[in-house]
Amino acid sequence: MNVIEPKYKYKEIEKVFEKLISGNAELTEHFAKEVDLSDYNQEDNLPYVDIGSISRFIVENKIENATSDFELFFENVEEIYKNGDKDVQNFIVVGLFEGIQNIGGKEIEYYKSFNQWLKPETQEAWNGIIDYWEGTEWRIPKDERKKREQEIQKILNNKK
């Protein structure tokens, strides 16, 4: 059986960073101010901290509605996720996605406001991390949740 070697490996994390910022001059400039990829190694650098720079950039641009480069960025994310080893996939979910969601909070309406750019596998991972921390109630429309809550309260009040 032929095992396909992942294109992106966590032990070569600088290649992941290079792909994430590729094609986006503004993001590349922003990232280069904080992280030097020319001599990057995991003994001296902290990838999970460094990806926070990218998460902040994405959130700031989302807030400012400067999203013209998001299509390419999220295509790069999908490429990395699909062709990365398990550690790279975890890095994208925990490092990048949780970073974006935590930094932006409800201000960016992270539940669905990135859906137009996320691709199939990263959309599933994005939703999965929300499900992990918050459960799946967020997937139910607000009016249905409110109706459900009212029905539950009615039942509980009748039991008193």
Give the tens place of pLDDT for each residue, 55-92: 999 999 999 999 999 999 999 999 999 999 999 999 99
Amino acid at 37: L
Quote the pTM value.
0.85
Q: Count of CB atoms within 10 A of residue 35's CB? A: 20
Dist CA 57 CA 133 (whole Å)? 23
pLDDT of the residue at 152: 80
pLDDT of the residue at 147: 80
pLDDT of the residue at 1: 65
Contact, 108 vs 63, CB < 8 A?
yes
CA distances from 138 to 12, 110, 146 (A): 36, 11, 12
Asked if pLDDT for residue 101 goes beyond 90, the answer is yes
Dist CA 68 CA 24 (whole Å)? 10
Dist CA 123 CA 112 (whole Å)? 10
Each residue of 12-65: pLDDT tens digit? 999 999 999 999 999 999 999 999 998 888 788 899 999 999 999 999 999 999
Each residue of 134-144: pLDDT tens digit? 888 878 877 78
Residue 58 token pair: 């994405």
Dist CA 77 CA 124 (whole Å)? 13
Higher pLDDT, 2 or 82: 82
DSSP three-state, residue 16: helix
pLDDT of the residue at 159: 65
Each residue of 114-123: pLDDT tens digit? 999 999 999 9
Contact, 103 vs 26, CB < 8 A?
no
Dist CA 69 CA 104 (whole Å)? 18
Contact, 106 vs 130, CB < 8 A?
no
